[in-house]
Amino acid sequence: MKHPGIEVRKACLAKNDLSVTEAARILRVDRRTLSNLLNGRSGVSAEMAVRLEKVFGIPAKDWMQRQLDYDYAQVMKRAAKITVEPFTPAEEQQEEGRG
């Protein structure tokens, strides 16, 4: 699954023949902020999603869904390494001890 920043580069910048500097100016964000997104070093924030919608017409919810899907895919790649135990409410622990 591609990082959403790649889609931003394709659907917004490349489609409109914009440089990173030009797009950052239009979006009213720091060039570094946009560059980090486009290069996969940061995700699409809710605020950035709204900016992209207002400037390029692609719904903010679409950008947020792409980010969610990407984040989920990334965490599932390493889910087996996440070691936690299921939560057992204190009442159940006490009942088990009484038995």
**What is the set of domains in the chain, with CATH numbers?**
4-98 (1.10.260.40)
The pLDDT assigned to 85 comes to 94
The SS3 assignment for 85 reads coil
pLDDT of residue 36: 99
How many whole angstroms separate alpha carbon 64 and alpha carbon 79?
Answer: 22
What is the per-residue pLDDT across 11-63, written as a single tens digit (0 to 9) for each? Answer: 999 999 999 999 999 999 999 999 999 999 999 999 999 999 999 999 999 99
Over residues 1-20, mean pLDDT? 98
What is the model's pTM? 0.84
* CA gap 7, 24 in Å, rounded: 16
Three-state DSSP class for 44?
coil
pLDDT band at residue 91 using 50, 70 and 90 as cut-offs: confident
